Amino acid sequence: MSFWDKYQLYFYVALVALLTWWLQQLYEERAAEIKVAENSPDFFSSGYYKKEMGLDGLPRSELAADKMRHYKADGSTHLEQPVMTLYNPNAAPWVIKSDSGIMAADGDNLQLNGQALITREASKTASALKVTTSDLRVKLSTNYAETAAWADIVSPPNQTSGTGMEVTFASPIHLKLLSKVKGRYEIK
């Protein structure tokens, strides 16, 4: 019996083991690539704009952003430089700007990160208003926003500031500062 006949079976077993190891390494590399793809946005937009209408056909809200990325894994939408406009009948719209934001998968909860600016132009029934704060949580279905951060409310010539704020943008409109409230008011 020759050397080859004696050790041929061991050679084939070693070859199959080597091939199996190589295929396992290839599979793990591809699986790693797929995991990265799962955490990637499934769609994106530059110059994003969305307008929501009410049952009466009038605009309810608008959302614009420089860039938008939607993630399939959690359904969230990440926004850069978002601008949210909330409309009220017979009143000036509220405009909310922020550095960045994340819209939850439900499309109702918007987390605005970084500096946030809320403005409303003057109208026949209300004076102009400017609120500066940060890290604002907005619930779109109820036109409600809140933050635990410092907030500064300016309605010329008056100014009020404090820590923590709750705002209702729909009628009846409420702005409530939660603690450490200071104000400066001018009386005519």
Which pair of structure tokens corresponds to residue 120?
């409303």
Provide the 10 A C-beta neighbour count for residue 119. 16
Q: Say what the pLDDT of residue 99 is.
A: 92
- Tell me what percent of the residues of the chain surpass a pLDDT of 70: 95
Q: Say what the pLDDT of residue 56 is.
A: 85
Q: Say what the pLDDT of residue 140 is.
A: 85
Q: Say what the pLDDT of residue 98 is.
A: 94
Which positions of the chain have pLDDT values less than 70?
32-39, 188
How many Å apart are CA 140 and CA 108, to the nearest integer? Answer: 5
Q: Say what the pLDDT of residue 101 is.
A: 92
Closest alpha carbon to 162 in 141, 174, 173, 176: 176
Q: Say what the pLDDT of residue 38 is.
A: 61
Q: Say what the pLDDT of residue 102 is.
A: 92
Q: What is the CA radius of gyration of the chain?
A: 28
Output the 3-class SS for the chain: CCHHHHHHHHHHHHHHHHHHHHHHHHHHHHHHHHHHHHCCEEEEEEEEEEEEECCCCCEEEEEEEEEEEEECCCCCEEEECCEEEECCCCCCCEEEEEEEEEECCCCCEEEEEEEEEEEECCCCCCCCEEEEEEEEEEEHHHCEEEEEEEEEEEECCEEEEEEEEEEECCCCCEEEEEEEEEEECCCC
Q: Say what the pLDDT of residue 66 is.
A: 93
